[in-house]
Amino acid sequence: MSTKQWIAGINAVSAAVEHDADNVREVLIEAGAKNPRLVEIEAQARRKDIDVRRVATQALDGVVGNLRHQGVVARYAAAKTYSENDLQGLVEAAAGKALVLVLDGVQDPHNLGACLRSAAAAGATAVIFPKDKAVQVNATVRKTSAGAADSIPVIPATNLSRTLRDLQQMGVWIYGLAGEAETSFWSLDLRGNVALVLGGESDGLRRLTRENCDQLVKIPMPGGSDVESLNVSVASGVTLFEAVRQRG
């Protein structure tokens, strides 16, 4: 299934043109702009046979609304959208080393974008979050993720608890991050099929989410804080890259 949308901002458009040019339909650049990075994006897009148009600032504003576009937007056609039905195949393709990031109710699009960026950099198998009561992938998320939102499988789950149970049936061990947990995250073996579950900015993990984790763990905080006070995008980066470190 293909979807079309606009992505905005220098980092997001540059990443899309560089890493996924086949899905970039056209690039719009502010007429008269002298920013060297915009010139670079234009040249790169033309080298890859992507249509480029110089347009008025008002035209860019009309495409992305209030989102800060930095003088460049691109019309993007994502190659595939994912659902819970794709999870089995994604886990199986990971050959015993699935690394899944689960976000339980993240509300801030900048946080979600940063989490997706970390997940893509870590080579995560998928990122899962609820369809309801959580931010979805929008233009702000795409910009913040610098292209990662369209380069990694992102799965909005209709029922997050059921999806966690499905993952368990696939042989994925579910670790939930909670400040009151007794076990240190650093003591875990993260080399097999693993899902890391992080809560939203204000409430942490919901009750049903906690109950469907195999184990609750915490990131030790020598400064006296807990995981709920650690920004979710920071916590996702810390935990994902510990898995990367262990996997060598």
Annotated binding site: 199, 219, 230
Q: Which ranges of the chain would DSSP assign to H, the alpha helix?
A: 10-19, 36-47, 57-64, 87-93, 109-121, 139-145, 160-169, 207-211, 232-247
| 54/59 Cα distance (integer angstroms) | 10
Residues 6 or more apart from 247 whose CB is under 8 A from it? 97, 190, 191
Q: Which residues pair with 101 in a beta bridge?
A: 127, 196
Q: Could you give phi then psi for residue 104, rounded to 5 degrees?
A: -100, 85
Binding residue ranges for S-adenosyl-L-methionine: 199, 219, 230
Contact 136, 106 (CB under 8 A): no
